[in-house]
Structure 1
Amino acid sequence: MASETYGIISLLPALLAIVLTLVSRQVLLSLFAGIWIGATILVGWNPVVGAAHSLQLVIDNITASFNSKLLLFTFLSGAMLGMIFLSGGMKALAERIISRIRTRRQAELGTSILGMLIFVDSYASTMITGSVMRPITDKFDVSREKLAYLLDSTTSPVVSVAVVSTWVGFEVGLIKEQFQALGIDQSAFVVFLQSIPFRFYSLLAVALVFITVTTGWNFGPMKSAEKRAKETGKVLRDDADPLLETREEDIVTPDHVDPRWWYFAAPIVALVVVTGLGLLTSGGWPDVAPVEALKDAATADAILWGVFSACGLLLAILVGHARVELEAISDSIFEGFKMVMFPVAVLSLAWTIGSVSEALGVGPYVVSVAQGIITAELLPAVVFLAAAIISFSIGTSWGTMGIMFPVAVPLAFNLGAPLPGAIGAILTGSLFGDHCSPISDTTVLSSMFAGADHVDHVNTQIPYAVLCGAVATGLFLASGYGVSPPPLLAVGVVALSVAAYTLSKSNRDPMPRVFGSDAD
């Protein structure tokens, strides 16, 4: 946590970057503008020194251990997809799936279920689900905006509550750290499990996916995007700038290759299995229990090992079974690198502006404002809103958790508020920004693997996120006064259903596209 805060001005860099991104649609320039303003504030309002400091901040964030491994993971993901395109495996698998999918609704439902089934890691879920389902949803005229929403809403919201994932070790570790500091003699993992029913935002976000998919109740800018796709067949609006530059048809499968569905399935299985084993072994398994191993797991290393293994297996398949020449394989790898260059640049700047916001003390500022109005009854709702604001401003759920836990857990303990509810509010509030902020890595990756325009994805998803956040706030208020989670969740799902139906029937967008051009 920052040792000092610049007050309300600490919000300026992130807000400037977000507004400029949405207004100008120039993501990289907007993000750097926010970084420059923040760096200028940090160095005493000298814009020239601020510019130099901005470059150093970018370098520092790119070379940070976890970030550099994630960037390498992204590059290797591009290489893997390039080789999969070359093999024709994805097209072969898509043809098998399409033969069983008859309707648009089934395509959306299949996307949602697949996203939930890959609950080990949010990045892997986004990459795999987007790569498999994009040609299928395109065939049934599902807008890329809708696909990106489905990817974004069935990855982090699911992974964050899964008991075996790349998130659980980090979350349990934060709980354990605070319990030790406060002398609380409870199992951190048990309290983690008890907090799951209180993850109102995460659970409602998933529920809203299935409400909209099964009923077709789209609203806000998404309604316009879906209408365009249905009536014209344009899955992207005119002049859209999809984040995924390389498409499958840009890499031609050699004529002599007979594409097999397992050319795609085998490396994906390798990715998931090696990632899972990497999480366990890097944490000390089998010498320690799986839960303890996940707590100490090297997440970045595990996903890196997983994607590297997948690339190695694909190379072996292409050379040994498909008999593809090395020159063609090399070309496909470089096409894959081209595919992820822009997302890598966005991720690098998004991390940097997040670190600038943290250096300015945005977390302590929001927390200090929230503390002035907290009572035991109001604590869950206030903590949720504070975490939501911070996560939207810095674009990272894990960073928000790191800010909130040392403040909110001791506060809940001293006020006598139930710890599972307070911890659930932190964890699900931290997810809000990760879910919809334009500077969030998972939002960027959802745009990337859906092949969607990033600003279009943000514009269409925000109304859904705000609706879930508003209902979740009401549920947290009720939980603070002793209402148990199960009936609250039932009420929340009903409220989402009523709101989605009402908004879908409106001729006006509840949150009109004031940023950027129209979806049509």
Structure 2
Amino acid sequence: MKTKLVIPGLTAGLLIASFLYKPGVITGFQQFYEFIMSGLKDENNIKIILFLYMFTGLIGMMKFTGGIKGFVEAASSKISSKKGALMLTWFSTLGTFSAPSFRIVTVAPIMKALLNKVKITPQELGFVIETTATPIIVLMPIATAFVGYMSSVVQLSIRAEGIEGDGYRLFLQSIPYNFFSISIILIGFYLSFFHDRKKPATDAGNPEKKLDDKWEDCHPAVAKELPSKPFNLALPLGGVILLTLLLTYWSGFEKGFTSPVNAFIEADVLDAMVFALLTTVLFTFLLYLFQRFSLKELVRFFIEGGNDMMPVIVLLTVVWGLAASAEALGFSEFVTANLDWIPALFVPPVLFLVGAFISYFIGSSWGTWGILMPLGVSLGNSTGTDLPLVIGAVFASGTFGAFSSPLSDNTNTIARILQLNPMTYAKFKLGPALIGAGTAAVGYFIISFVI
């Protein structure tokens, strides 16, 4: 909270844990290295890193070949009303749910081009776009940049507790308990189609500043010099989704589960996602080469796109090391011995509120999950609280910060594209976000009575 930076904070925690476990200058730093390497030696963790790098690399190629710009141009030329713009925002989620940043840079420029044509303010449009970004994406069970990480932090946490189970399956079971995401989606839907606020389209930080209606160059993905080829987005993205579904089903089918539902539950989802993405990337290279794009440039943009994910990969590496250090220091035993007196009724709502506070001040859902999930699973296990409910509460708390924090990447990306003042825009979102958070907290109290 002091530095507003997640990675240095987590690294400081890991260094302290290393020196607590093995005091001494040399032994402490050696243990720090061993904790870091423990996560990188895990096969599933390497698959997650590979998936994240290839996914953002694929988006980098989409940008270079005009896929994102083509989608923006095609959509902006056909929408001329507020209702049409908002319907496009919601329906476009079906094709852009892979990552919040990807969704924002494909939808926000369209909205920017339409703001002076429709009766809606840029901050209201930004709110609707963000409502259909992270809150929806965290509920998606496949083909997103979030699934691998969310399953990973759950798997690490249950492994530290000695709990038998599968992280992905617990993630699936926790989806209905992400009450903040569900609440803010409903609020966003109401504001989109049932709330009429007649105000001129002005900057949230400067009411006298007229919004520029040009969408070119509002983000590098839609720069003027890029070509406009919407199929260069639709085909690769559709291929990833379709192949992931088919390979996930096939993975479960090979294990003897013919029912689609059982096949999906029992499948090796991470393997299917990585294989589907790798196959799509290879065919996408061929598709773009057939269009006479330079192989050298394709490789450069793929690597540049993948490198955009390096801060997240570093974050993951530190989180995995911190999980190993917490296990070595007996974190789960400490929680079981000292905190099992807490009534199960209070565990989910308190975890959600504490996590929402943390995530607002660090602006990172992934950082919040990495910090809070081990504690949540330990508390849930020691108090007998339903684990999917606890996991859902932790995921909901991180989603709150990613949506509402002025430090969030999503907030600042939207503000840059729509020419908003980030702090003023964040304050505008905070009211509905707090309503959603209050609704979620009450929901956790009520559901704790029932389960």
> What TM-score do the two structures reach when normalised by structure 2?
0.68
1:112-131 deviations in whole A, cap 9, x for unaligned? 5544x469xx7x25365234
Q: Which residue of 2 aligns with 1:325?
A: 294
Q: Which residue of 2 aligns with 1:417?
A: none
Pairing 1:277–2:277 present: no
Name which of 188, 204, 211 aligns with 1:227: 204
Q: Which residue of 1 aligns with 2:48?
A: 70
Cα 1:229–1:474 change in 2 (3 A) is same
The alignment of Structure 1 onto Structure 2 pairs a total of residues equal to 395
The 8 Å contact of residues 58 and 302 in structure 2, kept in 1 or not, is answered as yes
Give matches, 1:471-510, under 5 Å.
Answer: 471-479=439-447
Q: Which residue of 2 aligns with 1:205?
A: 184
Name which of 123, 131, 136 aligns with 1:154: 136
C-alpha distance in 2 between matches for 1:231 and 1:355:
53
Cα 1:63–1:459 change in 2 (3 A) is farther
> Aligned AA for 1:428?
G
Shift of 1:451: 9.5
Cα 1:61–1:445 change in 2 (3 A) is farther
**In structure 1, the residue corresponding to 2:308 is in which secondary structure?**
helix
Pairing 1:426–2:426 present: no
C-alpha distance in 1 between matches for 2:322 and 2:196:
37
C-alpha distance in 1 between matches for 2:110 and 2:136:
17
C-alpha distance in 1 between matches for 2:413 and 2:45:
19
5+ unaligned residues in a row in structure 1: which ranges? 1-18, 183-188, 218-224, 236-245, 413-421, 485-520
**In structure 1, the residue corresponding to 2:78 is in which secondary structure?**
coil
The 8 Å contact of residues 248 and 272 in structure 2, kept in 1 or not, is answered as yes
Shift of 1:264: 1.0
Shift of 1:77: 1.8
Give matches, 1:77-156, under 5 Å.
Answer: 77-102=55-80, 110-115=88-93, 117=94, 124-126=98-100, 128-139=102-113, 142=122, 146=127, 147=129, 150-156=132-138
> Aligned AA for 2:77?
S
The 8 Å contact of residues 355 and 394 in structure 2, kept in 1 or not, is answered as yes
Name which of 433, 438, 441 aligns with 1:470: 438
C-alpha distance in 2 between matches for 1:477 and 1:140:
42
Shift of 1:365: 5.2
Q: Which residue of 1 aligns with 2:347?
A: 382
C-alpha distance in 2 between matches for 1:359 and 1:334:
36
Shift of 1:30: 3.5
Cα 1:41–1:227 change in 2 (3 A) is farther
Q: Among the aligned pairs, what percent are the same residue?
A: 15
C-alpha distance in 1 between matches for 2:191 and 2:333:
37
**In structure 2, the residue corresponding to 1:267 is in which secondary structure?**
helix
C-alpha distance in 2 between matches for 1:297 and 1:448:
37
**In structure 1, the residue corresponding to 2:293 is in which secondary structure?**
coil
C-alpha distance in 1 between matches for 2:328 and 2:433:
27
Name which of 14, 33, 49 aligns with 1:35: 14
Name which of 20, 23, 32 aligns with 2:2: 20
Shift of 1:283: 2.7
Shift of 1:201: 3.7
Name which of 266, 281, 287 aligns with 1:311: 281
The 8 Å contact of residues 70 and 229 in structure 2, kept in 1 or not, is answered as yes
C-alpha distance in 1 between matches for 2:42 and 2:328:
16
> What TM-score do the two structures reach when normalised by structure 1?
0.60
Q: Which residue of 2 aligns with 1:298?
A: 268
5+ unaligned residues in a row in structure 2: which ranges? 116-121, 164-168, 213-218, 359-366
C-alpha distance in 2 between matches for 1:151 and 1:100:
22
Name which of 340, 350, 355 aligns with 1:371: 340
C-alpha distance in 2 between matches for 1:437 and 1:87:
33
1:56-104 deviations in whole A, cap 9, x for unaligned? 3233323432222222122212321222122212211111221234467
The 8 Å contact of residues 84 and 263 in structure 1, kept in 2 or not, is answered as yes
Q: Which residue of 2 aligns with 1:507?
A: none
**In structure 2, the residue corresponding to 1:283 is in which secondary structure?**
helix
Shift of 1:36: 1.8
